[in-house]
Amino acid sequence: MKAEKSTIQCVMSWIRRQPPKVKAFFAVVTAMTVLVFLKVIVHEHDNLFIASEAVHALGISLLIYKLTKEKTCAGISLKTQELTALFLAVRLYCSFVMEFDLHTLLDSATLVTTLWVIYMIRFKLRPTYMEDKDNFPIYYVVVPCAVVSLLIHPSTRHHIINRLFWAFCVYLEAVSVLPQLRVMQNTQIVEPFTAHYVFALGIARFLSCAHWILQVLDSGGRLLTALGYGLWPTMVLLSEIVQTFILADFCYYYVQSLMGGQLVLRLPSDVV
Which of 112, 95, 115, 94 minimizes the C-alpha distance to 103?
95
Q: What is the mean pLDDT of residues 246-270?
A: 70
Helix 160-175, helix 78-98: angle, nearest 10: 150
Mean pLDDT over the full length of the chain? 80
pLDDT tens track for 205-229: 888 888 877 777 776 666 666 566 6
Q: What is the mean pLDDT of residues 51-68?
A: 86
**Around Cβ 126, how many Cβ atoms within 10 Å?**
12
Under 8 Å between Cβ of 257 and 211: no
Burial of 173 (0-12, 13-18, 19+ CB in 10 A): buried
Would you state the pLDDT for residue 52?
Answer: 84
Q: What is the mean pLDDT of residues 133-156?
A: 92
pLDDT tens track for 3-24: 555 565 566 566 566 565 555 5
Residue 1 reports pLDDT greater than 50: no
Q: What is the mean pLDDT of residues 238-257?
A: 80
pLDDT tens track for 20-35: 555 555 555 666 676 6
pLDDT-wise least confident of 68-82, 99-113, 176-190: 99-113
- 3-state SS, residue 100: coil
Torsional sign, CA 234, 240, 246, 249: negative
Would you state the pLDDT for residue 2?
Answer: 47
CA gap 213, 84 in Å, rounded: 23
